[in-house]
Amino acid sequence: MIKWKQRNHPIRLERRFEFESYEATRDFLESLGALSESKKIFPDISFGSTYVNITLRPESEEQDAQMTDVEFKFASEIDEILD
């Protein structure tokens, strides 16, 4: 969990992953897509040939929504893709 940064305005969790090759990047994105579909959680993702940035926001879209265990657990599950 320590590798994710929590930011505010708006509240969010962010992590950047770097890869050796485009192939490794795509493999990760594919696993991430499958995880998103199974959990029905769809983070914002930016990527180029050798990096992926993931931004997780609170599920609730209310203005004062806080991060919950749902997002922290999903962040851990993303980390586990690379274990």
Examine residue 80 and tell whether it contacts a copy of itself (CB under 8 A).
no
Residue ranges in 12-71 that form contacts with a copy of itself under rule CB under 8 A: 22, 26, 29, 33, 36-37, 42-49
Kindly report the backbone phi and psi dihedral angles of residue 15, in degrees, each rounded to the nearest multiple of 5, phi listed first: -145, 140
- Four-point Cα dihedral 62, 65, 67, 71, nearest 10: -10
Taking CB under 8 A as the rule, does residue 10 contact a copy of itself?
Answer: no
- Crossing angle of helices 69-81 and 22-39, in 10° steps, is 140
Number of residues that bind a copy of itself (CB under 8 A): 14
Residues near a copy of itself, by CB under 8 A: 22, 26, 29, 33, 36-37, 42-49
